[in-house]
Amino acid sequence: MTFKSWTIVLGLVFGALGASAQNYTVTQLPFAMASSAGVPVTNMIDDAVYGPFPIGFDFCFYGNVYTEFYIGSNGWVSFSPGQPGSWQVGATIPSASASYCKNCIMAPFEDWYPSLNSSTNVYYETRGVSPCRQLVVTFLDIGLFQCTSSIGTFQVILYETTNLIDNHLLSKPTCTSWQGGNSIHGLHNITGTVAAVVNNRNAVSFSTNQETWRFTPQGFCEGSIDTIKVLTADTARQDYPVLEALCYDKNFSLKLNTAVFCNTVDSNGTDFRLYDNFGRLVQIEKVSYSCVDNYTDSLHFQITSPFIYEEEYKLVQRIGYDGNTIGNCLSFRNPFDTVLVLVKECYKYNDPLIMTNVSVIDNELINVSWKYPDTLDTDFFERYVVSVNDSLGGSNWFALGEITNVNDTSFTIKNYDPSYERRDWRVNLKLYYYELGPPSDSVTHMKLGNPDGVLFNGMRGSARIEWNPYLVWPNPVYRVYESFATDTLWQLIATTSDTFYVHEKQRMPKSYLLKVEASNATDERISASNYLLYTQEQREVEIINVSTPNGDGVNDELYIKGLDFYPNSKVSLFNRWGQKVFESADYKNDWSPAALEGGTYFCIVEVIDKARIEGPVEIVK
């Protein structure tokens, strides 16, 4: 297979510096604190201000550019001299109160006690190379005034070029016994008229661990390098530029209009995310490039699996595992620049297979069958996978077998346990270049049952059998069959559209089988259920020759033993003069001779398929 690489041109857009009364956006990021090494601020005392210290680069804060900063022992960093060392946190910001620092980062501002455990608890350091340097200021293991066992560690990072501010809070306790534990977490401008505060942290008590907050300037302090902006000559597409790629290809390339720093490009591809049209992540295996003087103007992508869908994939620029966004010193003004990767010439089959039958054959075999649509290109066929659920409507599917011949559309397996309840079956199709496709329409094999529990014990009369509906085709017709267990010569005994049948059992003392078959209206397809075994037992019939109809509940009725097993049996009773005094065509041991005189009577019982039974009955009063 031939792979092609496509290119697209991208460019960098530059912002401008300028004063503004606009504020910062406040965003929480995944916690990622930098190391705390650097220049120590030694012998820092309570409620004091130290500095100035060099930032190491030009930094813009609320529209003004600074090269120096100051550190307050109560947890703030400022860019102006003469700030108060006050510990009072009684009102919210913005505030013109002289007790509040201005032009500062409150990270957070509270009555901290830096020299509690050591003479050195605050460090600062300028790291990196231009134009991507950082100033890191760390407050390390400092206590709270009057709560000296409550220890906090937090950090402020200033970013060159982008003028972003990150604030990492490894641990931030609270001391409610001092000023109610009040603390302020945010930014304050030089006049005390504008503030950007973390939600619910403006002169309130709070505690937290392992948080990172980012303050991003809006409309000012934009710096000289912005996020990579995508430029395209395709003016018809206004939302995103388009990069074309071919199906079954794993490679594509981007040509950058302006070169970027090689050391900001992660070769593992983590600076980008590639999503399909359903928002699912496509794994980028690597990004390769050639460097000249630490610059590159081309990025070559390789994904772990080839493109397999003809759709628009989104290649989104994100922050990589190296902590950088490509070429722009961690700028987050536009972190989600996007290129559409338009994949063409894909095979579009993604339809489920069509189930046609699941049959249980004589309780020994289960046969599953299906068909594939005409839209399937069999050149892409790899295999079928047949699965069964652990229960009807359950969620645990078990693969039972695979078939590698596209025209073999049935699967047979031994029914190891006929007592199993009915189950769902399905088949998946695996194509070359594709993951396992969608499952077929799930089909349930029929399961025959006897809910009243009397079908097996030989009782007289009728018994109800039930089965689950067969949903392979609409409006199925069900046919109920019966046979002797010894010859399996099935006889049709009922046709119904219901999923139950009231069965009038045989009277002959033998074992029988019942089964149900489902078919469509024209009998083109048939699915057979498992079969159900029941035994019609032989019972002797005996006339009980004494009846005492005195209402004591014992021998009050004329009782014929064993008659319950023989429906439609006729019983007649005669007096000693041969006169008939009682008759029933279907006697059920439910008549009392209380109205008759005491004495000897003669009883005749006529049972179908048995010889007539005669005998005396003594009625005792």
| Beta strands 338-344 and 242-246, pairing class | parallel
By CB neighbour count within 10 A (0-12 exposed, 13-18 middle, 19+ buried), where does 547 fall?
A: buried
Is the pLDDT score of 300 beyond 80?
Answer: yes
Give 1's contacts (C-beta < 8 A, 6+ positions apart). 248
Q: Which residue has the higher pLDDT, 452 or 193?
A: 193
Rounded Cα distance between 200 and 210, Å, is: 17
Cis peptide bond upstream of 131, omega within 30: yes
Q: What is the pLDDT of residue 2?
A: 30
- Per DSSP, helices labelled H in 183-284 are none
Per-residue confidence (pLDDT) for residue 383, from 0 to 100: 95
150-170 pLDDT, tens digit per residue, is 999 999 999 987 889 999 999
Burial of 301 (0-12, 13-18, 19+ CB in 10 A): buried
Pick the CATH number of 243-344 from 3.90.1640.30, 2.40.160.40, 2.60.40.1130, 1.10.760.10: 2.60.40.1130
End-to-end alpha carbon distance in the chain: 105
Q: Confidence class of residue 42 from pLDDT cuts 50, 70 and 90?
A: confident
Span 207-219, average pLDDT: 93
508 Cβ contact partners less than 8 Å away, ≥ 6 residues apart: 536, 609
| Position with higher pLDDT, 107 vs 220 | 107
pLDDT at residue 100, rounded to an integer: 95
In Å, what is the CA distance from 219 to each residue of 15, 48, 164, 387, 431? 9, 34, 13, 59, 52
CA atoms of 557 and 259, how far apart (whole Å): 108
* Confidence category of residue 473, pLDDT binned at 50, 70, 90: confident
Mean pLDDT, rounded, for 589-604: 93
**At 510, phi and psi to the nearest 5?**
-140, 175
Mean pLDDT (whole number) for 406-419: 85
Q: Please compute the mean of the pLDDT values over residues 606-620 and round it to a whole number.
A: 88
Q: H or E stretch including 428?
A: strand 424-431
Q: What is the pLDDT of residue 243?
A: 82
Q: What is the rounded average pLDDT of the residues 591-612?
A: 90
Helix, strand, or coil here: 296? strand
Q: What pLDDT does 71 receive? A: 97
Mean pLDDT over each residue of the chain, to the nearest integer: 84
Mean pLDDT value across residues 82-99: 94
Tell whether the model's pLDDT for residue 11 goes beyond 60: no
pLDDT grade for 508, boundaries at 50, 70 and 90:
low
| 56 pLDDT above the threshold of 90 | yes
Q: Is the confidence at residue 321, as pLDDT, over 90?
A: no
pLDDT for 237 equals 57
The answer to whether domain 448-535 and domain 542-619 are alike in fold is yes
pLDDT at 538: 66
What pLDDT sits at residue 235? 46
* CATH 2.60.40.10 is right for the domain spanning 354-444: yes
pLDDT of residue 537: 67
Task: Give the contacts of 175 (CB within 8 A, at least 6 positions apart).
Answer: 110, 111, 144, 145, 146, 147, 150, 181
Residue 407 clears pLDDT 90, i.e. is over it: yes
Across 232-236, 477-481, 594-598, least confident range: 232-236
pTM over 0.85: no
Q: Is the pLDDT confidence value at 18 over 50?
A: no
Asked if the model's pLDDT at residue 563 lies above 60, the reply is: yes
Fold of 448-535: Immunoglobulin-like (2.60.40)
Which range, 107-111, 128-132, 270-274, is most confident?
107-111
pLDDT of residue 223: 52
Question: How many Cα atoms within 13 Å fall on the side-chain side of residue 289?
Answer: 26
Q: In which band, very low, low, confident or very high, does the pLDDT at 329 lie, cut at 50, 70 and 90?
A: low
15 pLDDT higher than 60:
no
CATH of 542-619, one of 1.20.120, 1.10.3470, 2.60.40, 1.10.287: 2.60.40
Please give the residue that has the higher pLDDT: either 307 or 69: 69
The secondary structure of 429-471, three-state, reads EEECCCCEEEECCCEECCCEECCCCCCCCCCCCEEEEEECCCC
Q: Is the pLDDT of residue 348 over 50?
A: yes
Domain extents in the chain? 24-217, 243-344, 354-444, 448-535, 542-619
Q: Give the integer Cα–Cα distance in Å for 377 and 543.
A: 77
In whole angstroms, give the CA distance from residue 77 to residue 55: 11
**For position 418, what pLDDT does the model report?**
67
Confidence band of 453 (pLDDT split at 50, 70, 90): low
Q: What is the pLDDT of residue 507?
A: 59
pLDDT, greater one: 206 or 418: 206
| The pLDDT of residue 20 | 37
More confident: 471 or 24:
24
pLDDT for residue 12 is more than 50: no
The pLDDT tens digits for 69-85 are 999 999 999 999 999 99
